[in-house]
Amino acid sequence: MDNWTDAGLVAHRDRLLQALRGYGRVAVAFSGGIDSTVVAQAAQLALGSEAVAVTAVSDSLASGELEEAEALAKQIGIRHRIIRTEEFADPNYLRNNSDRCYFCKSELYGRLSTLLGELGVDTIASGANTDDAGDHRPGMRAASENGVRHPLQECGLGKAEVRALAKAWGLPTWDKPATPCLSSRIAYGEDVTPERVKMIDAAESWLRRRGLVLLRVRYHKGDLARIEVPVESLSDLAAPGVREELTRAFRALGFKYITLDLDGFRSGSMNAVISIESLMPAGR
């Protein structure tokens, strides 16, 4: 399982394990993404039975993600708990302003906080890494309000170090692209609904069946789909036959307009429309 040949990587590993040992008993907020998987692996090695991975399930979880999280937890050997979150019951979440993620994470971390005794843990740990610090992350405020710890950030580990650790530990998702929740595909100001996230999920699944890995289907006003794929894949989707098949499939899902973004795939592209004022702390 282990492949530790780089002294710097060993130092990163040992620092992460030591940090987690200092948390006491830990519940890892475990999505199955690369960051939380590395934290779960480290927690299992550092704490054994005093660590548990908790995966939240809701309408915003993409198809296959729960099954992948279950398989990863089994491989790691960590205790695994699945809970249901109800962010879709919160009108603040549904109205989809630029702070939507705050309400989602408040629901998640609030539920985890109430389960600390039942889970037999002292601390909640997230998979946030140092590269997340410069992005628009309103969910970090919810984490702070609920006393969540961020061991990757505390150890100075960014995405590159996280992927290297995952590869050395033999985790199969070490090169998995980021998979944010389906609600993040809906343009700010457009209501988040179960129907819309299901449309997005089905559309992205259709593209993956064609062999695409890096992709997003963004939902915009008027049931418009904006498809982001790597620039070199744009011509494949626009090719005769494929284009017609794609538009038929997407219209059958409920999209009225189907567009290809000529800028190609880019993570977090929805944040380009957020005003500077909305990012400023209150009172400034």
Percentage of residues in the chain with pLDDT exceeding 70?
92
How large is the C-alpha radius of gyration of the chain? 20
Q: Phi/psi class of residue 32: alpha, beta or left (left: φ > 0; alpha: ψ in -120 to 50)?
A: left
For the stretch 107-127, pLDDT in tens is 999 999 999 999 999 999 999
> What pairing do the DSSP bridges indicate for beta strands 257-260 and 224-228?
parallel
pLDDT, averaged across the chain: 93
Type and span of the H or E element at 82: strand 79-84
Of 168, 193, 219, which residue sits at a domain end?
168
Domain span holding position 87? 7-168
CATH number, position 118: 3.40.50.620
For the stretch 39-86, pLDDT in tens is 999 999 999 999 999 999 999 999 999 999 999 999 999 999 999 999
Residue 135 DSSP symbol? S
Of 168, 191, 208, which residue sits at a domain end?
168
Residue 174 lies in a domain: no
191 and 147 in a single domain? The answer is: no
